Structure 1
Amino acid sequence: MARRLRWSLPLLMSASLLVACSSEDEPDSTPRYTQPSDAGTEETPSTGTTSAAPDAKPRVVRTVATDLAAPWGLAFLPDGTAIVTERDTRRVLAISDGETREIAVLGSLPQTGEAGLLGVAVSPDFASDRLLFFYLTTEDDNRIVRATFDGTSLGQPEPILTGIPRGFTHDGGRLTFGPDGALYASTGETGDTALSQDRASLGGKILRIDTDGRPAAGNPDPSSPVWTLGHRNVQGLAFDADDRLWASEFGAQDFDELNLIEADANYGWPKYEGKGGSSEFTDPQVTWRTDEASPSGLAYLDGRLWMASLRGERLWSVRVEDGRASDPRSYFVGKYGRLRTVVVAPDGDLWVTTSNRDTRGTPGPKDDRILVIRP
């Protein structure tokens, strides 16, 4: 089970695990991305295998940051400042008033596959406790840490949940606070598929904890942080207007998934990829072929989920109503390259990060960037 350890900065790990086509977002052999000449141009949605949007089309209205290196996590402070993590450099950045500045580096590692500094979440009580939460990889594990931010610099990180399995691939890493005040975290199975069905392991799960790292009140097992199991590699978490939790998940070779998350449900990996039709497991509500998606970040806005896609190099929009997801539509296909994270900004626009400098993309001269998209 999870262990509580003191924080240590030596974070050297070896990239000893290599997985072929089961990595989170295996690239196409021929890159499709070309640097757009005008980031503010409205994009026509892709028709592909889904319906094109007949109404208002999302468009990029500006770029708020350039020359980043694989930005992964993004969350907003109450004053509108954006906190951004870079996976490979381990930098924590603050973006406000058009300025990007470094506020911390959490450890130091060479580029190590899908591991690194991943998700970030802002405490619901930030105005009083000043706490930020991060998901990161050490030489021993993946872990969740917290640190205070005084507006200028980050305090000493404190680990609150440790012992999450780490790997060269499938490290999960998304963090989000729910309407219930609990912190939800997605973990991967690191390529060891047996971990997903092992309730004693924190790998291949969605976890639910309090701000001290303890299992949140109401968990299926009061002694465990495990909320759901049977996941391969969830990298997107979002709550809808009815406080339902949704998750986007990488498939292996056939299907990526959008799942409605319910306590103690089993989502079938590795027995099923996509829909299995077994009463023992919970089927996804929407699936995609892996070349159309390889989904990462997920956000909810005005009746639709917005999902960033890596290998698919597009932004997906999916209608959500009464706990059902339908009508997937794709936008910006191939225009901005690999898209990693999507978050709703305080003004109602979407902030979307590119991920073309993550060793699997084809960077343009301004990559990586954070785009502001008006739905």
Structure 2
Amino acid sequence: MRGAVFGSVQVPAVRRGAVAVLATASLLFSAACSSTDGTAGTKGRDGDASPSPRTGSASPAPATPSPGLPPAKGSVKVVSTLTEGLKSPWGLAALPGGDLLVASRDGATIRRIDGKSGKQTLLGSVPGVSPAGEGGLLGLAVSATYGADHLVYAYFTTESDNRIARMQYDEQRPAGQQLGAPDTILRGIPKGAIHNGGRIAFGPDRMLYAGTGETGDTGLAQDQESLAGKILRMTPDGEPVHGNPSADSVVYSYGHRNVQGLAWDGQKQLWASEFGQDTWDELNRIEPGRNYGWPDAEGRRGERGFVDPVAQWKTSEASPSGIAFAAGSVWMAGLRGERLWRIPLSGTADKEPLAAPQSFLEGKYGRLRTVVSAGGDKLWLVTSNTDGRGTPKPGDDRILLLEVG
């Protein structure tokens, strides 16, 4: 994966089941990924490593962007702290109406957060979760047809694998008992102490996407018969989608180290963030069936057969987890980097950002885990300081409401 230098930022299957043919499925997307570990090798970059100062010189940005494109320089305003006192928050999903669901990675619980008051309500625990290392209860997604089925999807680690299950959310039951029994739709995603991936999201085609990690076994990323080190695309029932690169596989793209961010832009293009090892973290534009290089390529390499990243960062400045699209830009949460990155897009087959990626909130709220659209120019941002890795920082973990531009 690859790119041109902007400051310190350089820009640029397991087989299962019969094919599920859906009339609404469309092949519109692309994405990429990276690992949660703080340094190189086998130690996870989710650890509390101190960020390094940014180095290098910025390339000049366009002085006057074209009409309708985001400006070269952006802005972030913290509107409010919605809630705090969260324990190891990881996945976040918005309900119709504006309330949020948040998953506790280590506690294996899901809570509802009132989108206005911040009041927390325990929905219940997810049985079978085995939290350890970078595994546990990870990504959450609300069904694309939630109004009809009230289904909540979760990606989590068990004692034997990572899997995706769905649960019915019954708001009429008492607090703590509102989640139905998990219905596993996909199992057998390899697990490890590190690099479990974990982000899930429904795309504009109403199909479910998942980012996975290679568990520290680098060869799995290039093994197209493995679900590790991939971006997966499946029906809401966990079946391969008509139009996937291989008709009987949920594998959508491969050669990923650890994908924890998935988002679609205004043109329904899929993007993914990915942890690198020693040198480069990545933001990738995902194209179906393409090879994103790991472990043969990390960052921009320009090698035949591999897709270069649209942007890349030193691992000390990012360690990216969640991403979201708002105000014409991809917004990327950094763990070790302890900052929020803005990557403005041109909106037409972006091979590099419209202007230099720009960072905000550096060191102000600690490690940043998840970012989710709150509609329009607003974002929800989740911190990740009290997840059992080192000494928790003052203030505990929280959800912030941001206004961005």
TM-score range, shorter chain: 0.7 to 0.9
Structure 1 residue 365: Cα displacement = 3.5
Residue equivalent to 1:336? 365
Distance of 2:257 and 2:151 partners within structure 1: 29
The answer to whether the Cα contact below 8 Å between 1:72 and 1:118 also exists between their aligned partners in 2 is yes
Residue equivalent to 1:223? 248
Indicate which of 119, 127, 145 corresponds to 2:147.
127
- 5+ residue gaps in structure 2? 1-13, 18-38, 62-70, 173-177
SS in 2 for 1:330: strand
Residue equivalent to 1:148? 168
Q: In 2 relative to 1, CA 177–49 (structure 1 residues): closer, same or farther, beyond 3 Å?
A: farther
SS in 2 for 1:336: coil
| Equivalent residue runs for 1:167-316 within 5 Å | 167-316=192-341
Amino acid at match of 2:335: L
The answer to whether the Cα contact below 8 Å between 2:95 and 2:101 also exists between their aligned partners in 1 is yes
Q: Which runs of 4+ in 1 moved over 6 A?
A: none
Residue 101 (str. 1) matches residue 118 (str. 2): no
Give aligned pairs, total.
348
Q: In 2 relative to 1, CA 282–30 (structure 1 residues): closer, same or farther, beyond 3 Å?
A: closer
SS in 2 for 1:160: strand
Distance of 2:213 and 2:378 partners within structure 1: 29
Deviation track 1:231-281 (CA, whole Å, cap 9, x = no partner) reads: 000100000000000000000011000000000000000001111211211
The answer to whether the Cα contact below 8 Å between 1:31 and 1:362 also exists between their aligned partners in 2 is no
Residue 358 (str. 1) matches residue 387 (str. 2): yes
SS in 2 for 1:195: helix
Q: In 2 relative to 1, CA 3–102 (structure 1 residues): closer, same or farther, beyond 3 Å?
A: farther
Residue 320 (str. 1) matches residue 338 (str. 2): no
SS in 2 for 1:211: coil
Residue 89 (str. 1) matches residue 114 (str. 2): no
SS in 1 for 2:133: coil
Structure 1 residue 136: Cα displacement = 0.4
Ranked by relative contact order (alpha carbons within 8 Å, sequence separation 6 or more), the top structure is 2
Q: In 2 relative to 1, CA 237–364 (structure 1 residues): closer, same or farther, beyond 3 Å?
A: same
The answer to whether the Cα contact below 8 Å between 2:51 and 2:317 also exists between their aligned partners in 1 is no
Percent of residue pairs identical: 49
Structure 1 residue 77: Cα displacement = 1.0
Distance of 1:285 and 1:179 partners within structure 2: 22
The answer to whether the Cα contact below 8 Å between 2:208 and 2:236 also exists between their aligned partners in 1 is yes
Amino acid at match of 1:133: Y
Deviation track 1:267-323 (CA, whole Å, cap 9, x = no partner) reads: 000001111211211111101000000000000012100000000000000011113
SS in 1 for 2:345: strand
The answer to whether the Cα contact below 8 Å between 1:185 and 1:208 also exists between their aligned partners in 2 is yes
Residue equivalent to 1:68? 86
TM-score calculated relative to the size of structure 2: 0.81
Amino acid at match of 1:119: G
